[in-house]
Structure 1
């Protein structure tokens, strides 16, 4: 009897070991969507010439779409047929909102009950600290996203109906609205949005979609007015950090490129301000541009690299290390300078585990970028700054490039594919999907011993 009990216990233990964790399921889910998209893009119907894309280019494009990056090895508007472009559009939408959002919404429509494991997946996908209200959040994200995209679509469709016939205006508006809100950066014009450099309606609409998509779904819901409701500390930090980065980025870009004849130099004051604002917003993981980036000064390129590295906010359609991670590290440094034990902001202290997580994210991000950039300097012929820009753009799921993407070698494409995937899914999610999570042995407390640092 005891032997039977032991066997049953061992079987149960084996099943538990084989059970995939939420980070593993999320990583596998993204990989599955990418490979399905890559297969569809290799079909003859997906390209204008009827030959389909080579698999590595299809994989690169599908990864870029699902990871809402926007880096391309072939021109989206001229190489892909309408079928191929629609596949890319679906991949962008799924990648931006997350496949679990779609699965949950359709499950709710079919009357299916969302079990505990599915709720835990949603919690991991949205980077939430609690399971409470997670299904309701998924429903709000799905409906709210399409509402915001609908408004953007109408504005762009009306504006572009003056430049194109109605059918083309509607299609272009739909594609670029979804691309902008999901911070993807894919375009059908061949030169991003450079033709709309002085167009206030197009610029402001796209910027608004990028910012709304990049601040995070929880912040959007938190901003919804309710009587007696206070803004959470997370939303308070995200909104102020986002606004500060956009303002500082725009001012610095304006000053650095003011006299550059190939960028802002030929524009009037209104054009300079508009272009500076746009180029400060778009590195926050969107990937559109209204100026020739290859003509930027080196200092400006460095500025964009910093903005791309920081990226958007947690639980959004964007990538990067995230605004809250950046601010947590910054506040931690300030607290050390002021000899304060606690890291505080707005009358609240930030938990120690949050600070440790922020340090881990920042450290892993820097290490990965150094590794990939170093490898690219061996495999590619471009200069260091260009390759660093490309790597950070891929990691931040931004999609801006200085022109090196189409000429990447096979190894270079694979490295950028991996970087886009890691940037979208998240370094910690990848780490947790590989290693052991919540191991009780990790909670043991050891005697402290000081070491010298600095």
Structure 2
């Protein structure tokens, strides 16, 4: 028995945690190599922070990629972003199939957790389809960006191709890394012309919908119906995009706002892009993001905390958790004993998971903010913004990341790591599983609420 216990495979959630940790150190080592950097290369803590941010598709950075990384380093960064976006378990399964290896049940369960799926059925076929779909969308985005940016006199042909590929992957994976910051002629970072914002905005939007939703959309012509998850996701995402767009439009269009001089249609496009990007991508559509109004800053924090859909490229508590809590609240207000939506009753276990995700996420965010505040001379709003951005794997920053000391960098790295894997995955991975079911039931008693 002791030998059998030692040989027992690791639980899928723990395999995900350890796999991501291993990739973080491998990526950090590759970025730390002299060939990856310029002007002496990166320090170890810079390499580790960058690798963590890339694999968690966050975008917060203590370096400027285009000036601190060599061409080799940029490609390593791109591979890390892609690995973090599609999920390293997807890549592992594809590699195993290419070399003729069978996929074990444990690997299938780990892949199910990685993709956030409800059922492990036909998991390998789905994995191949997911990877093909991701590469197709990114390729189309890269082609459109290349054809547009190659006409820009500030970029040569090679730069236009590299930047198009890099930003198509970074946008679809909701990573937020860019190569324009530090490039001569681009003092404000990414191009903010209408075409660039439109293409990158749609890449971010599609990447944030989640694999199950994208699959439903692709198969709608045959199925003629959407699952409950897809209906809820599309409803919540549309609501958040509209609220964010209108919120930024009015907050930044008033006197003192950063977009007060922009024409209404142009301002609407910028606000739409910022609303889409705010929930996890981290690209700043508003040029002077560090000087936005307090109203916009609060709106950004809320949107980042909610984040993207489950099984997507983004983080946050996810739109699924937000929807479950809102549906439960609305059902309770109507006097219903169960949470109901669209002619369906949500499972009790789903509501418990939503409550657990929200509770754990708040504890993580508040603890991280407190640790930043006691170790740095920084205001509450800047610390809160940076921590929530890391937790949501968003990457938007008010400039605090570059000012963090070594302890602060490790705090942000821990929050990014937590935000990418999700509260439930990590809690399950570190929790001690009980070998026997709970056999004792105690008398029920109520406590005061509210």
Scaled by the length of structure 1, the TM-score of the pair is 0.94
The residue aligned with 2:390 is: 394
The residue aligned with 2:157 is: 166
Judge conservation of contact 2:281–2:395 (CA < 8 Å) in 1: yes
The residue aligned with 1:326 is: 322
The residue aligned with 2:202 is: 208
Matches for 1:400-415 after TM superposition, within 5 Å: 400-415=396-411
Q: Distance in 1 between matches of 2:337 and 2:225?
A: 27
Q: Given the superposition, is the C-alpha separation of residues 411 and 201 from structure 1 closer, same or farther in structure 2, using an over 3 Å criterion?
A: same
1:284 aligns with 2:275: no
Shift of 1:341: 0.5
More displaced, 222-231 or 62-71? Answer: 222-231
Which of 20, 27, 36 lines up with 1:37 in the alignment? 27
The residue aligned with 1:185 is: 176
The residue aligned with 1:127 is: 116
Q: Distance in 2 between matches of 1:279 and 1:158?
A: 24
Q: Given the superposition, is the C-alpha separation of residues 196 and 377 from structure 1 closer, same or farther in structure 2, using an over 3 Å criterion?
A: closer
1:26 aligns with 2:16: yes
Shift of 1:139: 0.9
State the number of aligned residues: 443
Shift of 1:290: 2.5
Judge conservation of contact 2:108–2:120 (CA < 8 Å) in 1: yes
1:233 aligns with 2:228: yes
Give deviations 1:257-311, integer Å, cap 9, x for gaps: 1025561012111221111111101112100012211111111100000000000
Q: Distance in 1 between matches of 2:109 and 2:354?
A: 22
Q: Distance in 1 between matches of 2:190 and 2:57?
A: 22
Structure 1: runs of 5+ lacking an equivalent:
1-8
Q: Distance in 1 between matches of 2:189 and 2:66?
A: 15
Matches for 1:109-148 after TM superposition, within 5 Å: 109-148=98-137
Shift of 1:336: 1.4
Q: Given the superposition, is the C-alpha separation of residues 444 and 346 from structure 1 closer, same or farther in structure 2, using an over 3 Å criterion?
A: farther
Q: Given the superposition, is the C-alpha separation of residues 437 and 78 from structure 1 closer, same or farther in structure 2, using an over 3 Å criterion?
A: same
Q: Distance in 1 between matches of 2:377 and 2:267?
A: 33
1:218 aligns with 2:212: yes
Structure 2: runs of 5+ lacking an equivalent:
none
More displaced, 123-132 or 299-308? Answer: 123-132
Give deviations 1:372-409, integer Å, cap 9, x for gaps: 00111111112100100000000000000001110101
Please report the RMSD computed on the Cα atoms of aligned residues, expressed in angstroms. 1.6
Judge conservation of contact 1:207–1:278 (CA < 8 Å) in 2: yes
The residue aligned with 1:149 is: 138
Scaled by the length of structure 2, the TM-score of the pair is 0.95
Secondary structure of 2:57's partner?
A: coil
